[in-house]
Amino acid sequence: MSKFKITVARIEVDARGKQDAQVRITFRIDRAPISFQVPILLSIRDFDDTEMVQAARSALYRTFVELAAQSQKWKLTPEDLRQLSSMSLRPSSRSKGSI
């Protein structure tokens, strides 16, 4: 399986007010044919400019760790997958066209 390519796609500052200003760092995650973006919001007061991308990477990591933990019970064993495959209710291609 090939690795995901993770890049910083965009950095935006939302400066509504000095007190609650935020930075949105959007990561683009690619591995053909999958491609999606994940925005990470950080308070502009918590980190300086040089630390912002590192802090966002850490937040992205924590997000995926939490997602993996939350979906752990969905994991199927190879045997589970074989059973599901053998239970397929799709009509076989041989029955196409016969009336």
pLDDT in tens, 21-80: 899 999 999 999 999 999 999 998 888 888 999 999 999 999 999 999 999 999 999 999
What are the φ and ψ backbone dihedral angles of 38, each rounded to 5 degrees? -130, 115
User: For residue 23, which amino acid is it?
Assistant: V
Number of helices followed by number of strands (H, E) in the chain? 2, 3
CB-based contact 76:63 (threshold 8 Å)? no
Give the separation between CA 3 and CA 79, rounded to whole angstroms. 25
pTM equals 0.76
Instruction: State the residue for tokens 């918590």.
Output: 46
- Which of the two residues, 63 and 94, has the higher pLDDT score? 63
The reported pLDDT for the residue numbered 94 is 57
Positive/negative CA dihedral, 88, 35, 6, 68: negative
